[in-house]
Amino acid sequence: MSSNSFAYNEQSGGGEATELGQEATSTISPSGAFGLFSSDLKKNEDLKQMLESNKDSAKLDAMKRIVGMIAKGKNASELFPAVVKNVASKNIEIKKLVYVYLVRYAEEQQDLALLSISTFQRALKDPNQLIRASALRVLSSIRVPIIVPIMMLAIKEAAADLSPYVRKNAAHAIQKLYSLDPEQKEMLIEVIEKLLKDKSILVAGSVVMAFEEVCPDRIDLIHKNYRKLCNLLVDVEEWGQVVIIHMLTRYARTQFVSPWREDDGLEDNEKSFYDSDDEQKEKTDKRKKPYTMDPDHRLLIRNTKPLLQSRNAAVVMAVAQLYWHISPKSEAGIISKSLVRLLRSNREVQYIVLQNIATMSIQRKGMFEPYLKSFYVRSTDPTMIKTLKLEILTNLANEANISTLLREFQTYVKSQDKQFAAATIQTIGRCATNISEVTDTCLSGLVCLLSNRDEIVVAESVVVIKKLLQMQPAQHGEIIKHMAKLLDSITVPVARASILWLIGENCERVPKIAPDVLRKMAKSFTSEDDLVKLQILNLGAKLYLTNSKQTKLLTQYILNLGKYDQNYDIRDRTRFIRQLIVPNEKSGALSKYAKKIFLAQKPAPLLESPFKDRDHFQLGTLSHTLNAKAAGYLELSNWPEVAPDPSVRNVEVIDLAKEWTPAGKAKNENPTKKFYSESEEEEDSSDSSSDSGSESGSESGEEDEEGDSSEDSSEDSSSEPESESGHQSDTENRRAAKRNSKTKGKGDSKDGKKENEKSKTSDSSNAESSSVEESSSDSESESESESESESRKVTKEKEKKAKQDRNRLATDASLLDLDDFNPVSTPVALPTPALSPSLIADLEGLNLSTSSSVISVSTPVFVPMKTHVLLHRMSGKGLAAHYSFPRQPCIFGDKMVSVQITLNNTTDKKIENIHIREKKLPIGMQMHVFNPIESLEPEGSITVSMGIDFCDSTQTASFQLCTKDDCFSVNIQPPVGELLLPVAMSEKDFKKEQEFHG
């Protein structure tokens, strides 16, 4: 025996195969059960021997065969004692296979399984992280209740392990332990809480998974980690992303107020998504209190957007549902493109995605209308895909596209897949009812189909026509006549029944035909389907009531036939009708009303989408797919009326500052900064009077948003991938600093006073410019370019201003509190050379508006994300420079165009002393250079702004960009458009100007 097995070993792979082949045959033939059993015994003996041999190769071979048995679902439990001995094997492959075995059978052989525990406990202390992790994995997978305390201990230790990989496994172990012993919940929650704080991207997904399984209701554990999770999200592995996004969607629905109110005007006609009552109430609230999106809410929406580009369909779907459920309605449109992309994937993905699109397309048609043609059916699609596509096409149909669609449907009707053809006819019926313009067209189209050769098609058409005619019963005598003729040929019971019902209902419109039809039916009554018989009885009754002269005898004949029918339903109906319509001495009071009973107006059927009510399930979930609540489904809560305190998400500052500060400090003090930050305040307060009067209506709200947007942008820029760590740490730094100063500022009464003095006047003036700015930053966010995110490295001043604004407002939206506003004395204030464009706009806008109250320089509505290469990194010896036009008034002079230059160090050394030299400018042109940059860290990046007066021409400005060692000639040529200044003026003023200029 053993030599035989050795032979297998020598042959390795091939031997393995034949071995498996043998086993396969033995499982397939269960007839020889007894023989099989004995051979199994023998084989197992042989395996036992191999396991006991002292050669690793024999053991390995035995283990491989055992795993083969497990894989096939054969019982190998009797080998447990022999296998478990090998748990301490030095050979890692044997060890792993033993683990596989243990996990499979430990539950059945608990006592023996305990023998292995000490090995795992030892392995948990192994210096190799892989071994530690796999020991924890197996230990936690052995479902033996006795070892719960040991598992608990191991999890706690692993959660504090230095290796993130081990911590990840600890997170997995939490779920396992929880399912083994739910009583450990409290202790496990403590571990989860600890692991949630973990900053490793490896751990994030797993711990959120554990959270979802163990304590999905403990939303309070998320608060402090919310921003971290949002920021880590892009880097987490894809599976973790899905789980985190789903969790954050639920979180957002409990923590933020609905962003949908502001869109109501746009989509008023659409039914409110969740609870119409709620929406109504909110709408009224709206007038009282303007909506402000919580910056954290915005952060989530921003940071998930890049994931729409993921290759993983589950991630894309997760983001899509997040946008659907929590983003403002106007922003949800971007998901449709990505969802349509998924339709190229395999059929299972298509199926799920199409289902979700079907639900979405009922609610918001507009989202998918541009992609109408992507839902056209191919003859090679599986039927389930075809019907789903058809469903979506129906939902998308409107007056504008219906003619195209009908043409398309016409192809489908002729499809060889008759089930699909029938579904198409149903669809046409639905389109006809939904879009009144085409009802007649559809009806006549369907009538054409009545002469189709295929019976299923004809039958389906009859049924649909019946429904359509029921909705507008007038003027369709001709069609009814036509259908009456069809009775001779159609055999499908539903269709026959429909025709009879239709004739019965309209018997007064076709007085000649109806009795004749009844006559024919009476002849064939006995051979009809039950469904048809019932309708014959109905028809008879109706005719008896309206035209008893002609049909009295016929009806009685039919009633007699029905009386002796085999089906009791028909006998019942017969008895009922006879009592009701045929007058006799016993007939009760009801017979007087027989006519009313039978010929009452019947409400038309409502042709509705089967996906109509699916929207109460969260999209992308199993429950949505099944249209039934799956076990463990977590409801999405309705938006809260009032947002819970947002400050719970604030993180202790000291930690963050420490963590984020190291990079990006190598920037110069910029003298202009101080100047502006002071003067800004001055201008703010002085200008206010002129503006506040005209703008007061919308101010209070927009102002608030302004604060938001600045906050957002700082959050946003921190979401940059690790590779651009330069930027990131930079912004993070600033953010941390900001928080730092904020907490500091809380106690700072001196500044508070200063604020108070100004607040009344200055905030209203801010409002005007900020309202414009809000829109500009919105448009920017759509493009989300790098240049933009750089320009968005919002400076200290800007943030402070935002904070002030918030301060002055009520406390509800205040993430940021009363703040220190002395730029010089703030110790953590990070001076930055680049001024925030929006800040400049604030300043300039106000500046100008004092001189002329009618024309004010506004921030541009659209700032292109385009950056131009100033210096390529190849030619710049690793220094790369890009320039862009932020389209903001230049701070260096009225006539200058502001230019932003982003410098990147792509080398692995510091680049020192970056400055500008040798300006070669055409006559009249002027340039305000940026201050020399002392040094730029490797991989670092810095954005500086400068001003160039191009003399309103498109001449090129040439200059040299120098580092400590090198000089590179570069030049900037502005496009004409960049030389213009965006200006906002009222229509009246525009006309005035126009007149003035002739």
What residues from 99 to 128 belong to the interface with another protein (CB under 8 A)?
Answer: 99-100, 104, 107, 128
Torsion of CA 848, 708, 722, 738, to 10 degrees: 80
- Please say which residue, 444 or 756, places its beta carbon nearer to another protein: 444
**Of 282, 720, 799, 842, which lies in the binding site for another protein, with binding defined by CB under 8 A?**
720
Q: Is 93 in the site for another protein (CB under 8 A)?
A: yes
- Please say which residue, 130 or 590, places its beta carbon nearer to another protein: 130
- Please say which residue, 724 or 732, places its beta carbon nearer to another protein: 724
Binding to another protein (CB under 8 A) within 288-327 occurs at 306, 309-314, 316-318
Q: Least distance (Å) from another protein to the CB of residue 233? A: 12
- Please say which residue, 224 or 228, places its beta carbon nearer to another protein: 228
Q: Is 376 in the site for another protein (CB under 8 A)?
A: yes
Length of the chain: 998
* CA–CA distance, 65 with 57 (Å, rounded to integer): 12
Sheet of 926-928, strands arranged across? 868-871, 879-884, 897-905, 941-949, 926-928
Within 10 angstroms of residue 280's Cβ, the number of other Cβ atoms is 12
CA 247 to chain centroid: 12
List the structure tokens of 68: 């083969």
- Please say which residue, 169 or 764, places its beta carbon nearer to another protein: 169
List the structure tokens of 215: 């304590």
What are the backbone angles phi and psi of residue 103, rounded to the nearest 5°? -60, -35
Q: Looking at residue 933, what DSSP letter applies?
A: E
Q: Least distance (Å) from another protein to the CB of residue 830? A: 22
Q: Is 547 in the site for another protein (CB under 8 A)?
A: no
Q: Is 201 in the site for another protein (CB under 8 A)?
A: yes
Q: Is 574 in the site for another protein (CB under 8 A)?
A: no
Q: Least distance (Å) from another protein to the CB of residue 183? A: 18
Binding to another protein (CB under 8 A) within 322-341 occurs at 337-338, 340-341
- Please say which residue, 440 or 569, places its beta carbon nearer to another protein: 440
Binding to another protein (CB under 8 A) within 857-876 occurs at 865, 867, 874
Could you tell me which residues are beta bridge partners of residue 984?
A: 856
Closest to 587 measured CA to CA, from 598, 599, 579: 579
Binding segment for another protein (CB under 8 A), chosen from 157-165, 283-291, 571-579, 667-675, is: 157-165
H or E element at residue 690: helix 671-717
What are the distances in angstroms from CA 108 to CA 96, 105, 120, 179? 20, 5, 19, 17
* CA–CA distance, 320 with 335 (Å, rounded to integer): 5
Q: Is 349 in the site for another protein (CB under 8 A)?
A: yes
**Of 163, 685, 700, 743, which lies in the binding site for another protein, with binding defined by CB under 8 A?**
163
Binding to another protein (CB under 8 A) within 823-862 occurs at none
Binding segment for another protein (CB under 8 A), chosen from 377-385, 462-470, 637-645, 687-695, is: 377-385
Q: Is 589 in the site for another protein (CB under 8 A)?
A: no
Q: Is 621 in the site for another protein (CB under 8 A)?
A: yes
What are the distances in angstroms from CA 32 to CA 18, 35, 40, 44? 21, 6, 12, 18
What are the distances in angstroms from CA 899 to CA 779, 882, 944, 945, 989? 19, 10, 8, 6, 30
Q: Is 450 in the site for another protein (CB under 8 A)?
A: no
What are the backbone angles phi and psi of residue 495, rounded to the nearest 5°? -65, -45
Q: Looking at residue 889, what DSSP letter applies?
A: B
Binding to another protein (CB under 8 A) within 5-44 occurs at 9-10, 12-13, 16-17, 20-21, 24, 28
Q: Least distance (Å) from another protein to the CB of residue 17? A: 5
Q: Least distance (Å) from another protein to the CB of residue 268? A: 26
Binding segment for another protein (CB under 8 A), chosen from 79-87, 364-372, 526-534, 926-934, is: 364-372
Q: Is 407 in the site for another protein (CB under 8 A)?
A: yes
**Of 633, 668, 672, 692, which lies in the binding site for another protein, with binding defined by CB under 8 A?**
633
Could you tell me which residues are beta bridge partners of residue 250?
A: none
**Under rule CB under 8 A, how many of the chain's residues touch another protein?**
142
Within 10 angstroms of residue 568's Cβ, the number of other Cβ atoms is 8
Binding segment for another protein (CB under 8 A), chosen from 158-166, 281-289, 806-814, 920-928, is: 158-166
What are the backbone angles phi and psi of residue 920, rounded to the nearest 5°? -110, 90
**Of 49, 109, 121, 452, which lies in the binding site for another protein, with binding defined by CB under 8 A?**
452
Q: Least distance (Å) from another protein to the CB of residue 724? A: 6
Residue 825: CB partners within 8 Å, gap ≥ 6?
A: none
- Please say which residue, 604 or 634, places its beta carbon nearer to another protein: 634
* CA–CA distance, 343 with 341 (Å, rounded to integer): 5
Burial 222-249 (b: 16+ CB within 10 A, else e): bbbbbbbbbbbbbebeeebbbbbbbbbb
Closest to 23 measured CA to CA, from 78, 61, 69, 66: 69
- Please say which residue, 159 or 539, places its beta carbon nearer to another protein: 159
Q: Is 56 in the site for another protein (CB under 8 A)?
A: yes
**Of 789, 791, 826, 945, which lies in the binding site for another protein, with binding defined by CB under 8 A?**
789
- Please say which residue, 101 or 660, places its beta carbon nearer to another protein: 101
Q: Least distance (Å) from another protein to the CB of residue 633? A: 4
Q: Is 625 in the site for another protein (CB under 8 A)?
A: yes
Binding to another protein (CB under 8 A) within 722-761 occurs at 722-724
List the structure tokens of 362: 């009922």
List the structure tokens of 226: 């919310």
Q: Is 932 in the site for another protein (CB under 8 A)?
A: no
941 three-class SS: strand
Binding segment for another protein (CB under 8 A), chosen from 395-403, 832-840, 844-852, 926-934, is: 395-403
Sheet of 911-920, strands arranged across? 933-936, 911-920, 957-962, 967-972
Closest to 713 measured CA to CA, from 295, 255, 361, 422: 295
Binding to another protein (CB under 8 A) within 896-915 occurs at 906
- Please say which residue, 313 or 736, places its beta carbon nearer to another protein: 313
Binding to another protein (CB under 8 A) within 227-266 occurs at 234-235, 237-239, 242, 246
Q: Is 634 in the site for another protein (CB under 8 A)?
A: yes
CB 203, CB 168: distance < 8 Å: yes
Q: Is 78 in the site for another protein (CB under 8 A)?
A: no
Burial of 951 (0-12, 13-18, 19+ CB in 10 A): middle
**Of 403, 647, 698, 853, which lies in the binding site for another protein, with binding defined by CB under 8 A?**
403
- Please say which residue, 409 or 639, places its beta carbon nearer to another protein: 409
Q: Least distance (Å) from another protein to the CB of residue 913? A: 24
CB 484, CB 503: distance < 8 Å: yes
Annotate 121-138 with DSSP letters as a single string: HHHTT-SSHHHHHHHHHH
* CA–CA distance, 498 with 462 (Å, rounded to integer): 7
Q: Is 434 in the site for another protein (CB under 8 A)?
A: no
Q: Is 622 in the site for another protein (CB under 8 A)?
A: yes
Residue 55: CB partners within 8 Å, gap ≥ 6?
A: none
Binding segment for another protein (CB under 8 A), chosen from 294-302, 404-412, 491-499, 807-815, is: 404-412
Q: Is 391 in the site for another protein (CB under 8 A)?
A: no
898 three-class SS: strand
Q: Is 938 in the site for another protein (CB under 8 A)?
A: no
- Please say which residue, 321 or 650, places its beta carbon nearer to another protein: 321
**Of 141, 776, 838, 849, which lies in the binding site for another protein, with binding defined by CB under 8 A?**
141
**Of 5, 119, 184, 206, which lies in the binding site for another protein, with binding defined by CB under 8 A?**
206
